[in-house]
Amino acid sequence: MTHHASHADDDLHAAAHDTDPARHWDEHYGTEQRWSGNANRALVDVVTETGAVPGRALDVGCGEGGDAIWLAHAGWQVTAVDVSAVALERARGAAQAAGVADAIEFVQADLATWEPAGSFDLVSACFFHSEIELARMEILRRLAATLTSGGALLVVGHASVPSWAPEEHRHHVADLPNATQTVTALELAEPQWHTVIAEDRGRKVTAPDGTAAEIDDAVVLVRRA
């Protein structure tokens, strides 16, 4: 489900062909690699800015594995979950090629019902959006409950759409929560939780005609007491 930096707006063009999550996302990923293979910039920046000590990480909607592979290279033990068998097959191959397959457990599961075993020091959900029904905040709250004391939930989402997005998607821009709205919707409040980052960050993207543009990402990091 993850949408990586160089293609992060591509999902705005995709039509929902099937309401079954596994079939929908297998169709979404198609027959060719969809993303760049790079980690999402916000994940790299936040982990670096906060000096996060490697431990156990959960990659929510891992897609083709860019984030999980970066985390593994940085010393994390990663559980990477996605509903798409197509995406996970590519992710496993990429992890093997990168030499970090032993540090990543890939799990095919519907996150609406999946219950993780054990606890995590980081739960990362980058561009965990869907064109079909997704109880996004409910899932994130449930997964946040798996965090250890001092562990952090990172949520990165689209806060705007590019100017070239189809009209029907631009009509839904109000449905994309900014960072402050994301914090409110998560309902993870003091004193049990501390909001470390709640920022709308601009990100450079490339339009279909090759010109440069900028869109906003909502970046939220919440730490468990």
Going from N- to C-terminal start, the domains of the chain cover 5-224
In the Cβ-directed half-sphere of 205, how many Cα atoms lie within 13 Å?
25
The arithmetic mean of pLDDT across residues 97-123, rounded, is: 96
Is the pLDDT reported for residue 175 higher than 80? Answer: no
Q: What CA–CA distance (Å, rounded) separates 25 from 143? A: 21
Average pLDDT score over residue span 11-23: 54
Span 99-125, average pLDDT? 96
Q: Are 183 and 220 in contact (CB under 8 A)?
A: yes
pLDDT for the residue numbered 32: 65
Q: Which residues are CB-contacts of 24 (< 8 A; sequence separation ≥ 6)?
A: 16, 17, 18, 130, 131, 132
> What number does CATH give the domain 5-224?
3.40.50.150
Q: Which has the minimum average pLDDT: 24-33, 115-124, 215-224?
A: 24-33
Which DSSP state fits 102?
G
What's the confidence (pLDDT) of residue 149?
Answer: 98
**Residues 159, 177 contacting (CB under 8 angstroms):** yes
Residue 54, preceding bond cis, omega within 30 degrees? no
Share of the chain above pLDDT 70, in %: 79
Summarised one tens digit per residue, pLDDT across range 117-173 is 899 999 999 998 877 677 899 999 999 999 999 999 999 999 887 766 655 554 455
Tokens of 171: 């009509």
- Report, as an integer, the average pLDDT of 86-102: 96
Tell me what percent of the chain is helix, strand and coil, each rounded to the nearest 5: 35, 30, 40
pLDDT band of residue 16 (cuts 50, 70, 90) is: very low
The angle that helices 41-50 and 66-73 make with each other, rounded to 10 degrees, is 30
Confidence at 12, pLDDT banded by 50, 70, 90: very low
Asked if residues 121 and 151 have their Cβ atoms less than 8 Å apart, the reply is: yes
The pTM of this model reads: 0.84
pLDDT value of position 3: 46
> Residues 191-204: what's their mean pLDDT?
96
pLDDT band at 208 (very low <50, low <70, confident <90, very high): confident
Predicted pLDDT at 210: 82
Q: Which residue has the tokens 């591509």?
A: 10
Tell me the CA distances in angstroms from 35 to 29, 64, 87, 96, 186, one per residue in order. 9, 7, 10, 17, 28
Question: Where are the strands (E) in 115-190, listed by range?
Answer: 120-126, 147-158
Average pLDDT, the chain: 85
Look at residue 100 and tell me whether its pLDDT is greater than 60: yes
| Of 6-10, 29-33, 185-189, the least confident | 6-10
The pLDDT assigned to 160 comes to 83
